[in-house]
């Protein structure tokens, strides 16, 4: 053995440039040998089933499809991302390589962060590809507006957090069973996170699967007449980013003595992440359902978002035109055709609307999870009078086909237009009821009925009295010009309740 008294001369510390190049090479290596690409086809298939097909079945409205994409994409990616991240996190221990990598110069957190980053990059690439496909198709179909990016950001932040949680689980409990358990646990945690939502002021709304007020569900009216509110997505992104930071920071917390230099920054990152996540949960708890169907959080709310969006309506060419928001332009022919018979009957009558104009839905949070949805004011107002129309698709319920929407519109808006002109209602005179029934009859609308007794808390209706039906039949049998001429002369008296059934021609 040769005695050497001089300690080995330290090599110069690699420059920052070398560090970056080395980190890039390591990331490239991890990207090339990552397990995530093998699971991406599964995630993409799930996205196609749970998000893409569902969104394509919806009207081409940006906010509607974006909200659907948010929850669908999350459910599609949660299992592959959490599972593969856990698989990668447990890789060193599963492959019995811990000793070999532990004695290398690069810190454990840097090594693990690279593996995590590679898995997350792949997941993000797959997800963004799916979003590009969905948004690309929507861009070609949508008549108006632009893509909302906040839902995209929420899912992206969710994938970061899910990946970090899965990776941490794999690193902490390195077993071949950790990956499937992490995947299943993440799925159920996400799916069940909405079960505790009560009303609009719920901390659980911070769950990334909540794309809109949970009690309402898919709603085409949201984000069309008023800007898409980013309040809840801001809280969600903040929560998820905080969660990611906390988990990654905790993963980097070193074990054993002599590594205090890393413990302090890791603890600081963890604490900052927890603080951000906690703040976001608190913010979500202060959210309220606003009048436009979105969650407004006072602390992050921008008052400018309460101003309606400017748009030039698209209108049909008729005596009483039907005007819709340009986002609904594809519905215009169907809506105009559905309402044409009743509008032709109304055209020229005193007090008849000069146009039927689509308006925004108004939302009010009731007790518990109930939400009332409807018009803010009377259906007809203004001088000259305008009939305010809500398309059936603007109300809660499953999205409709164009044909279904036309049928629903005829049976809901048609009688409402007649009633608003004739003055039909609970306190209407028999003559008003008869005229309303006659006009509905000639316009091919469902026959009006009278409110009946409440049975088992449900409102019932009863048919019109025989005398009213008889008068209605008589009036409906008149030629349209005669009916119209009579109404022009007597509508004011009819509305005032001064016409009896016997006076009807």
430 three-state secondary structure:
helix
How many residues line the site for another protein (CB under 8 A)? 38
For another protein, which residue of 57, 97, 139, 492 counts as binding (CB under 8 A)?
97
Residues 255-274 that bind another protein (CB under 8 A): 256, 258-259, 261-262
What distance in Å separates the CA atoms of residue 267 and residue 489, rounded to the nearest whole number? 83
Q: Min. distance of Cβ 98 from another protein in angstroms?
A: 7
Binding mask 33-52 for another protein (x = CB under 8 A): x-------------------
Cβ atoms 94, 13 nearer than 8 A: no
Cβ atoms 360, 292 nearer than 8 A: yes
Question: C-alpha distances in angstroms, 258 versus 254, 255, 261, 262, 263?
Answer: 9, 9, 8, 9, 10
What distance in Å separates the CA atoms of residue 337 and residue 356, rounded to the nearest whole number? 13
What distance in Å separates the CA atoms of residue 187 and residue 28, rounded to the nearest whole number? 30
- Of residues 6 and 455, the one with the C-beta less far from another protein: 6
- Of residues 12 and 481, the one with the C-beta less far from another protein: 12
In DSSP terms, 324 is beta-bridged to: 314
26 near another protein (CB under 8 A): yes
- Of residues 4 and 304, the one with the C-beta less far from another protein: 4
For another protein, which residue of 5, 140, 456, 458 counts as binding (CB under 8 A)?
5
* Contacting range for another protein; rule: CB under 8 A; set: 7-15, 171-179, 218-226, 266-274: 7-15
Q: Quick one: angle between helices 332-346 and 402-422, nearest 10?
A: 20
- Of residues 38 and 188, the one with the C-beta less far from another protein: 38
What distance in Å separates the CA atoms of residue 14 and residue 25, rounded to the nearest whole number? 15
Q: Min. distance of Cβ 299 from another protein in angstroms?
A: 41
- Of residues 266 and 391, the one with the C-beta less far from another protein: 266
> How long a stretch of residues is the chain?
505
Residues contacting residue 195 through CB under 8 Å, at least 6 positions apart: none
Residues 320-379 that bind another protein (CB under 8 A): none
- Of residues 35 and 315, the one with the C-beta less far from another protein: 35
- Classify strands 355-358 and 386-389 as parallel, antiparallel or unpaired: parallel
* Contacting range for another protein; rule: CB under 8 A; set: 43-51, 102-110, 285-293, 302-310: 102-110
- Of residues 15 and 454, the one with the C-beta less far from another protein: 15
- Of residues 260 and 368, the one with the C-beta less far from another protein: 260
Q: Quick one: angle between helices 430-442 and 402-422, nearest 10?
A: 150
Q: Min. distance of Cβ 112 from another protein in angstroms?
A: 11
Question: C-alpha distances in angstroms, 323 versus 8, 190, 261, 336, 348?
Answer: 84, 41, 67, 9, 18
Maximal C-alpha separation, the chain = 129
- Of residues 96 and 456, the one with the C-beta less far from another protein: 96
* Contacting range for another protein; rule: CB under 8 A; set: 150-158, 184-192, 251-259, 409-417: 251-259
In DSSP terms, 315 is beta-bridged to: 323
- Of residues 23 and 373, the one with the C-beta less far from another protein: 23
* CA angle at 495 for the pair 489 and 498, rounded to the nearest 5°: 80
Q: Min. distance of Cβ 92 from another protein in angstroms?
A: 8
Q: Min. distance of Cβ 85 from another protein in angstroms?
A: 17
* Contacting range for another protein; rule: CB under 8 A; set: 240-248, 253-261, 312-320, 404-412: 253-261
Six-digit token pair at 272? 């900052």
Helix or strand run (H / E) with residue 199: none
For another protein, which residue of 16, 99, 384, 502 counts as binding (CB under 8 A)?
99
Other CB atoms within 10 A of residue 58 CB: 18
Helix or strand run (H / E) with residue 251: helix 231-252
For another protein, which residue of 45, 49, 57, 100 counts as binding (CB under 8 A)?
100
For another protein, which residue of 41, 49, 53, 95 counts as binding (CB under 8 A)?
95
Question: C-alpha distances in angstroms, 93 versus 98, 171, 176?
Answer: 6, 8, 10
14 near another protein (CB under 8 A): yes
Binding mask 103-122 for another protein (x = CB under 8 A): xxxx----x-----------
- Classify strands 314-315 and 322-324 as parallel, antiparallel or unpaired: antiparallel
- Of residues 87 and 127, the one with the C-beta less far from another protein: 87
What distance in Å separates the CA atoms of residue 190 and residue 72, rounded to the nearest whole number? 12
175 near another protein (CB under 8 A): no
What distance in Å separates the CA atoms of residue 58 and residue 404, rounded to the nearest whole number? 13
- Of residues 1 and 454, the one with the C-beta less far from another protein: 1
For another protein, which residue of 31, 42, 56, 101 counts as binding (CB under 8 A)?
101
* Contacting range for another protein; rule: CB under 8 A; set: 95-103, 380-388, 413-421, 491-499: 95-103
User: With helix as H, strand as E and coil as C, how does 41-60 read?
Assistant: HHHHHHHHHHHHHHHHCCCC
- Of residues 256 and 479, the one with the C-beta less far from another protein: 256
Binding residues for another protein, rule: CB under 8 A, are 1-5, 7-8, 10-11, 14, 18, 21-22, 25-26, 29, 32-33, 91-92, 95-106, 111, 256, 258-259, 261-262
């Amino acid at each position: 053995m040769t005695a050497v008294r001089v300690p080995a001369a330290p090599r110069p510390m690699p420059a920052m440039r070398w560090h970056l190049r080395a980190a890039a090479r390591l990331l490239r290596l991890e990207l090339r040998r990552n397990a995530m690409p093998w699971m991406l086809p599964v995630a993409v298939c799930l996205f196609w089933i749970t998000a893409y097909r569902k969104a394509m079945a919806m009207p081409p409205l940006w906010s509607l499809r974006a909200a659907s994409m948010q929850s669908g994409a999350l459910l599609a990616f949660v299992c592959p991302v959490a599972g593969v991240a856990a698989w990668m996190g447990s890789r060193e221990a599963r492959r019995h390589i811990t000793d070999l990598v532990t004695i290398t110069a690069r810190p454990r957190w840097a090594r693990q962060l690279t593996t995590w980053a590679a898995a997350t990059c792949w997941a993000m690439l797959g997800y963004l590809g799916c979003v590009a496909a969905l948004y690309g198709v929507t861009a070609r179909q949508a008549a108006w507006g632009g893509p909302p990016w906040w839902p995209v950001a929420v899912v992206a932040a969710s994938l970061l957090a899910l990946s970090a949680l899965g990776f941490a689980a794999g690193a902490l409990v390195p077993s071949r069973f950790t990956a499937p358990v992490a995947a299943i646990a993440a799925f159920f945690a996400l799916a069940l996170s909405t079960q505790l939502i009560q009303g609009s002021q719920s901390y659980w709304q911070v769950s990334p699967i909540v794309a809109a007020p949970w009690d309402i569900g898919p709603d085409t009216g949201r984000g069309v007449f008023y800007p898409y509110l980013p309040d809840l997505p801001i809280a969600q992104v903040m929560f998820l980013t905080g969660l990611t930071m906390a988990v990654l920071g905790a993963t980097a917390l070193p074990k054993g003595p002599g590594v205090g230099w890393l413990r302090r920054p890791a603890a600081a990152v963890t604490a900052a992440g927890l603080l951000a996540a906690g703040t976001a949960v608190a913010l979500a708890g202060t959210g309220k359902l606003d009048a436009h169907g979105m969650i407004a959080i006072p602390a992050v709310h921008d008052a400018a978002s309460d101003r309606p969006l400017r748009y030039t309506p698209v209108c049909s060419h008729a005596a009483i035109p039907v005007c819709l928001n340009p986002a609904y332009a594809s519905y215009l022919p169907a809506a105009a055709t559905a309402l044409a018979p009743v509008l032709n009957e109304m055209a020229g009558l005193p007090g008849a609307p000069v146009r039927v104009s689509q308006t925004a839905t108004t939302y009010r949070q009731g007790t518990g999870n109930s939400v009332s949805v409807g018009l803010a004011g009377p259906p007809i107002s203004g001088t000259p009078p305008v009939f305010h129309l809500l398309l059936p698709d603007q109300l809660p319920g499953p999205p409709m086909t164009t044909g279904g929407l036309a049928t629903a519109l005829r049976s809901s808006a048609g009688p409402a237009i007649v009633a608003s002109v004739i003055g039909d209602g609970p306190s209407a005179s028999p003559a008003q009821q008869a005229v309303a029934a006659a006009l509905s009859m000639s316009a091919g609308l469902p026959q009006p009925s009278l409110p009946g007794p409440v049975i088992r808390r449900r409102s019932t209706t009863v048919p019109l009295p025989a005398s009213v039906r008889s008068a209605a039949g008589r009036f409906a049998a008149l030629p349209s010009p005669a009916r119209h001429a009579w109404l022009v002369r007597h509508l004011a008296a009819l509305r005032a309740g001064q016409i009896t059934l016997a006076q009807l021609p």
